[in-house]
Amino acid sequence: MQRLPDLDVILKGFIGYLVLVSFLMSACSQEDYYKEMLDRVRNIERDPKNLAAWGEIEKLTASPAFWTRYYAFSTFVILSRGPAIKNYTNATTLFENGLQDSDSRVQILCVEGISNLGFEAVNQTYTRLLQVLSSNQENSLSWATAECLGKISDQEHGVEVLNALLLECEKPVAIDTQIGAPRTRTYALSSAVEIARQMGSKDFLPKFEKLKKAVSARNSPADREFAAQVTNAVSHLKE
């Protein structure tokens, strides 16, 4: 009698087939989303005062479907790089709300959008950006957020942001942390230096000296490398 194929093998083969089909369908779907996004960008760039077109994309940013949301925010990010965005007065609020999205990929887009909009957008959204930074995650979202905060120009709240960035820089790391990591504190240091320069470098030197002392007292290779960065920053601020 001919032996029947093992049921487990059949099931594994069928599951593999379903995964492949799902992957191909997803790839096709994403390509469609991408084409639609480019069409929307071109349409708005041709007629940037068409508020209905802006509103249509805004509605898609609230979609429960991830890729719909993702490409809607991507459309706004692309438009935020050019002059057309000036015709859409809700851009800063849209990106700020997007920082609360459940997916970090959408959040990263919103950080980029805020950064593209410039100083005023960062001034308006800095509180939400600080909340993202304080989540204690080390990833591309925390890197982008730390870098974006360096664009704040509000004198009143700049000190608050500067202190938060320096606090991020002072967080201890494990002894076996790889040199160059965590990258969030490298971006945070760069942004803190930028803010200090805008607000009067020498007034904030004691804060950087305190950071230098704290990091220099640690023994991990990553901390020694970062201490050199802080020392260099202090030297530049003294110039």
* Gap between the Cα atoms of 163 and 165, Å rounded: 5
Q: Please write the tens of the pLDDT for every residue from 157-204.
A: 999 999 999 999 999 999 999 998 999 999 999 999 999 999 886 789
Exposed (0-12), middle (13-18) or buried (19+): which is 87, by Cβ within 10 Å?
middle
Residue 153, pLDDT score: 93
User: What is the DSSP code (8-state) at residue 83?
Assistant: G
Tokens (6 digits) for 99: 């920082």
Query: What percentage of the chain reaches a pLDDT higher than 90?
Result: 74
Residue 30, pLDDT score: 67
How high is the mean pLDDT of the chain?
87
Instruction: Name which of 35-39, 40-44, 96-100, 103-107 the model is least confident about.
Output: 35-39
Alpha-carbon distances of 113 from 13, 51, 101, 105, 226, rounded to whole Å: 44, 19, 14, 13, 29
pTM: 0.85
At residue 22 the predicted structure's pLDDT band, cuts being 50, 70 and 90, is very low
